[in-house]
Structure 1
């Protein structure tokens, strides 16, 4: 009897998982003992870390977009459909017109910035967390000659170091244009340091001081007045801006919320080592969809597939699961337009940023191109 594995979500984690499963279960798929199905709500695959480079005018949007069917392994059954309900009791996914039963399910539905979370935010703020937002911000940055750029951050959000990277890159962006002295850069964060990871905060502090980047901690945005161009905090302080770049708190996918599988923010309670949804033996969760206290980043999903894929392979082959996830994450930290640092950490070992160098920046640029091999399950 054919065992069906459905991977829900065609982003980085879901595509990697489906492709790796298809490669490792090739004989079983050929013998019709297994089937790997990838369900995505779009036929496009977008490399989301590229949004920052679009906003800074470094790359064109098309550079980071592929057709999903061009990067999916031939042994994967690719379906484009919008799933509206996950019924874990009946082991079926439901869209408006179709039902998809499964034996094993991998949920990789990601997270999304909620621009409707605060009054005026959607109308008054720019962003680099969506494709349209990055394109709009690119044009705003290109046209500004003087004024204040205010960056606000709420948590949780994916790519946790990205707001820091952006402000550091903006510093050089405006220096290259010869107008840095006319641009005030102000970065804010909701707790008492520049980043939730203390080593990253300590790494950034001297860079801010050296480059005269302003910062304010315990900054919690409450609403935005888009007409007056003012950001208003919970303590009533008003902060005028010429460009407001906001990173709102992210939530889980709507299907997770509608299916009653998530916590109050829509993230799925997940075992930190097996990556199984709590109280389920056949549902696995990877990437941003989990509620795990680790970075919501593409590398997280990548390392999580290294646990989920071999365990599913073993189950199909009738063997016990032996792989465990240790919380591994690795992130690049762009320090400017020409150098970068990086961090790697796990549940037991805290991050320690490497010394910034042009080599790491170059390596990041190379990875941006190699990503497509990674998504194909080759790297």
Structure 2
């Protein structure tokens, strides 16, 4: 039985490690082989990028060697897939190699596409890559007064990120003693300040307390870089001194090029986590088109379901679990407090008041992440 995992991020790494332990006897007897193909030999802790943007972490703290995170039985190659031939149960990689499989796990992730909005690349700062996070931190250090505008493109991964950014900005400027000289204005594309209704209800009084201005129903149409104006598709505009964007995201380019899903999102069964029309292809994390948050926690919970089901299919001939839509999101509410949102398909989040212990739990998790992706937590 050949299991092929495409993608070495959170979801792919947890699936591969979980399977390697569940199927250790089958691997030793050579009944099962697990192969992982990745585009990089490095693994990044992506939530850490926001800490880099505020000078709380340095980029080198975000990385580990991917091979060091994998069980020894996993055959790991840095050789990204370029062609998916699903009807023939094989893929073709950048190096020209062909990998055949019996079960395929797709965990290719997502990418930012700021170029879809005129002026956004040139006019806005962001923190979704190492380089842009460092650049944003330098810009934040430079600014002394004026308007900091935050705009949000959709869809995007980590839906809580815009809210965390606002809390972080408020505390950052407060610590520098210039909060009274900085106007922070937040723009969101729907009719409330967050997609998740319960988060919006909780966040609104917090924004009011911090003196945050906000405008809803603001879908970014263009950025006038020369005049430092961001305009909405609805016809409104905001003048800024510093523009920070949560850029719109797509799935990875290889998914679009292979016509596997519109926008790079693969049509996925919300319970089985299989690709529609392909029962031997499992999809997880940012790669899916599921109506759940694109976060590491969603990828983690999906990975556990997929690994248990693949192992059960090999051992007893049938999957044993459904994915219930579970997501757990830490929400940093400044530099020394945090809360969390936990929810699934059936139950909306019930947010608790922010606390310092929850912040330290989050800071601890930044280190525990490396144990988590090894499938040990």
Q: TM-score, normalized by length of structure 1?
A: 0.97
Structure 2 partner of 1:42:
40
Aligned residues: 376
Confirm or deny that 1:322 pairs with 2:320: yes
> 2:245 maps to which residue?
246
Answering whether residue 85 of structure 2 is matched by residue 87 of structure 1, we say yes
Correspondence for 1:295: 293
Question: Where does 1:200-279 land on structure 2 (aligned, <5 Å)?
Answer: 200-263=199-262, 265-279=263-277
Structure 1: distance between partners of 2:320 and 2:271 = 11
Partner deviation per Cα, 1:158-217 (whole Å, 9 max, x = no partner): 000011101111101110110001111111100110100010001110111111011100
How far does residue 142 in structure 1 lie from its aligned partner after superposition?
A: 1.0
Equivalent residue for 1:340? 338
Deviation track 1:255-278 (CA, whole Å, cap 9, x = no partner) reads 111111112x22011111100001
The 5 A counterparts of 1:149-188 are 149-188=148-187
SS of the residue 1:356 aligns to: coil
Q: Give the counterpart of 2:375 among 354, 358, 377.
A: 377
Contact 2:18–2:304 (Cα < 8 Å) also in 1: no
Secondary structure at the aligned position of 1:272 is classed as coil
RMSD of Structure 2 on Structure 1 (CA): 1.0
1:114 aligns with 2:113: yes
Distance 2:51 2:332 in 1: 11
Q: CA deviation at 1:67?
A: 1.1
Counterpart secondary structure, 1:155:
coil
1:20 aligns with 18
Return the offset for 1:289.
Answer: 0.5
3-state SS of paired residue (2:27): helix
Given that 1:127 and 1:246 are in contact with CA atoms closer than 8 Å, whether structure 2 keeps it comes out as yes
The whole-number CA distance in structure 2 between the counterparts of 1:352 and 1:133 is 33
Report if aligned partners of 1:225, 1:231 keep a CA contact under 8 Å in 2: yes
- The aligned residue for residue 199 of structure 1 is 198
Deviation at 1:155, TM superposition (A): 1.6
TM-score, length of structure 2 as denominator length: 0.98
Q: Secondary structure at the match of 2:108?
A: coil
Matches of 1:279 and 1:104, distance apart in 2: 14
CA apart distance, 1:317: 1.9
Three-state SS of the structure 2 residue aligned to 1:48 is coil
Query: Which sections of structure 2, spanning at least 5 residues, go unmatched?
Result: none
CA separation in 1, counterparts of 2:321 and 2:175?
A: 48
The CA deviation at 1:235 is: 3.2
Shift of 1:21: 0.9
Contact 2:90 2:98 in 1 (8 A): yes
Structure 1 segments unaligned to the other structure (5+ residues): none
* Whole-Å separation in 2 of the counterparts to 1:254 and 1:304: 22
Task: List structure 1 runs of 4+ shifted beyond 3 angstroms.
Answer: none
Distance between the aligned counterparts of 1:19 and 1:307, measured in 2?
A: 13
| Structure 1 position 238, deviation (Å) | 2.9
Number of the residue aligned with 1:63: 61
Alpha-carbon offset, residue 344 of structure 1: 0.5
Contact 2:14 2:304 in 1 (8 A): no
Secondary structure in structure 2 of the residue aligned to 1:323: coil
1:367 pairs with one of 353, 365, 368: 365
